[in-house]
Structures are given as structure tokens and as C-alpha cells.
Amino acid sequence: MWMPTASPTSPSYHRRTLALHRRTLALHRRTLALHRRTLALHRRTLALHRRTLAPHRRTLATALAAALLAVTALAADAVPAAAAPTLVIAGAGWGHGVGMSQEGALGYAEHGYTYQAILAHYYTGTALEKVSPRTKVTVLIGAKVHTLPLETYVRGVVGAEMPSSWPLAALEAQAVASRTYALTDHAGGARFDVYADTRSQVYLGARAHTAQTNTAVAATAGEVVSYAGRPAITYFFASSGGMTESAQNAFAGAAPQPWLRGVPDPFDQGEGHRWRLTMSFTAAAARLRGLVKGAFRGIEVLRRGYSPRIISACVLGSHGNTTVSGVELEERLGLDDTWAYFSVRTAHGTVAEPDLSHYTAPTGVAPEVTSPETGTPPAEPAPPATPPAGVEGGTTAGSTPTAGEGGGTTPP
């Protein structure tokens, strides 16, 4: 039986159309969800490929780094002279160089000189005077200040500053120098006179006593070095290298002192008389950190003192130069003394560094060390023909237990 179709305006038609749209919308939603799942699958696949590729990238980077190191090593082997210049330092002496050289005093004693003559040689224009036997000295030992009779103190110093096996005249000179230094150092101001270590001079008490050193102290009891009627500070040190130095050239800001002038020291020998040191430019630059501008290029001496000891120099850098004192160079480079000459050694040879000091030794004095690569050194000056026995003299203070482990090392 024939039935008429629903009219577009009938309610049933609208219901069927709405249902159709809903089914279509649901289909689109399922299609979108499928696309999202497909995209997520592609992303997971990409991540998997990346994880697979990462080890290959690391392997490639390691291989490239190894190749670069190999090329660098080959280049370094091909040009060692350009890559690793060496700083060569030839020097003399051990200590600050002012006053009495202990090794020099040993030499004078071995040649028959008296302690008076030894002191007179090292302390120009001085005389020997006596202080009261009741004189006392204050010593900082640890954290406590001790007051000691002067002679008791000196007995505890001489054996700590000089080997007791040395000749009596050398020990007597040391006793007078140490006694005078104790009265003139004033290291602690109003609190105490001297430290018990190398900041002043080494005091070991009874541990330093020996029969020989006690004899030297007793033979010189009460004697001190004086200049113009007053006790004069008596610096001493281990080895002069053949010449001592004037105080104003060795101690920053020190005024010239007439008894602390540089003098020839012909009998000075021993462990610190001559020395030599080499180090790479890299090591030198590290020790001179803060003074080197750019890459380290070497050291140029500007001024020397009475002896060849350096007063001032320039640290040369690729970006400029820095002026430095001889004392700072000594401390930074670990030298035994400021008496030093510099050269640079490469595969092509050794060349002396510039020296603008144009140093010339005083008349009659020819220092042995002039540069690391010079030929046969000239002979040192001869001492007076006969020991000037009985001449009174002055002193200065020093630095090693084989020849001054401390003493007289504090600048004025």
C-alpha cells in the first residue's frame, strides 16, 4: 500500500536529520582520535630513532676528539722549541746579602782572621763596646714573652745559627753579631725585643749549647758592635756569593746605613755560593701569576746593586710589562738570593735575557756569576796579605742552621 513521504517540515523529518548529524559527528570524532593515535605513534618512533642515534653521535664525537689530540701531539712534536721554552737562572748567594756572610766568616776564620777582624770587614767603620753584665732581653717563645739574661740568650742562639764544629773565630763573630742583634732588633716594639725564630734569630735554649759555642760566648761576653758610640743592628745571612749588599738595595724603604755597605767577600764558599735553576715558561708564568700580562715572555733586569743583586726588573708579557722588585722575584720564583741572571733556552740554543742594568762590578771586584752561559768566570779578589789581628769591627744578621737557620733576617 502506498504511503506518502514525510514532509521536510514534519517533526519526524527533523528527528531523523538530527540523528544523522549526530552519527556524522561521532564518526569525525573517531577519525580525529585515530589521527591523534597515529601522531603519537610517529612521535614514539622518532624518539626511538633519536635514542638509537645518540650512541653513534657520542662515538663520533669521541673519535673526533681523539683525532684532534693526535694532531695536536704531532704538532707539538714537530715544533718543541716554539712550544716549550725554558727559563734558565744562574745565581749566587743564599739570603738577603746584608751584613755578615756566615760562610764568609768561616772562610776568614780558616785563613787565620780574628773575630774582631771578621766583624770589622763586614760592618764598615764599627767598633766593639761592652754592655752591662746585668743586661736582659725579652724573647717571644710561642705565645709567651720570656725575660732572659743577655748571655743566657746568646748561648741559646749561637749553636742554632752556626755549626758548632766551625772555627772558634767564626763562632765568636756570630756570638757578637747575635748579641748585638738582640739589643737592636726591637721586633715586638714595647712588648718584646726578639722572636725566637727566623723572624729575628733562632733561639733553642739549652738544646743549642755545646762546649765550643759556650766558649765563644764566654770569650766575647758583653761585647756588641757599635757605630758612633751606639749599638748598630747586625744583620747576617748564610752565603754572599762573593759580595755582600748595601742595606738600602736589599730592604724596601730602608735608609742607607754607613756600617751596612756592600763589600767584597773573597773567602765565601759553601753550599749556597753558586746555584742554578731551570723551569718551563708555563711554570714561571704560574709562579708570577698576577704580574704577567698576556703570555709570559721572559724577565728583563732594570737595576742591580753594589753586587749583582737585582733591585728592580720587568716581567715581560705579550700584552705589556710589569715592574717588580728583586725581592719579589726571589720569593715568587723560589730563588736563594736576588743575585740572578736570566736566559731563555730553546731548541736553537740559549740566549741571555735583556739586562738594562749595565752592571759593572766595583773596582777590584769581579763577580763570578754574570750570566748562565758565559765562559770561565774571573777570579775573585784576593784578601789583604795578612790578617789585621786586633781590629775591632761590626756585624749583621742571617739565616741557616748549617750556616744560619735564622737571625738578622727581619728588614729594618
Domain ranges within the chain, ordered by starting residue: 100-250
Q: Which amino acid is at 50?
A: R
Give me the residue label for grid cell 605513534.
41
E strand or H helix at 212:
helix 211-219
pLDDT of residue 270: 86
Average pLDDT over residues 27-49: 63
> At 346, phi and psi to the nearest 5?
-130, -175
pLDDT of residue 397: 33
pLDDT of residue 382: 40
Average pLDDT over residues 39-53: 58
Average pLDDT over residues 338-367: 89
E strand or H helix at 227:
strand 223-227
**Please, which pLDDT band fits residue 24 given cuts at 50, 70 and 90?**
confident
pLDDT at 412 over 90: no
| Strand partners for 323 | 314
Which residues lie closer than 8 Å to 268 by C-beta, 6 or more apart?
A: 101, 103, 104, 107, 239, 240, 241, 242
pLDDT at 314 over 90: yes
Cα–Cα distance, 209 to 92 (Å, whole number): 31
In 3D, which of 373, 341, 369, 354 has the Cα closest to residue 297?
A: 354
Q: Are the beta carbons of 359 and 303 closer than 8 angstroms?
A: no
Q: Which has more pLDDT, 146 or 378?
A: 146
Quick one: cell of 244?
755582600
Q: Which amino acid is at 390?
A: G
Average pLDDT over residues 234-262: 97
- For the chain, the maximum distance between any two Cα atoms, rounded to a whole number of angstroms, is 164
Q: Are the beta carbons of 289 and 156 closer than 8 angstroms?
A: no
In 3D, which of 236, 265, 263, 254 has the Cα closest to residue 400?
A: 236
Tell me the pTM: 0.73
Cα–Cα distance, 326 to 240 (Å, whole number): 16
Average pLDDT over residues 122-129: 98
In 3D, which of 116, 162, 155, 115 has the Cα closest to residue 139?
A: 155
Q: Are the beta carbons of 403 and 106 closer than 8 angstroms?
A: yes
* CB-facing half-sphere around the CA of 52: CA atoms within 13 A: 6
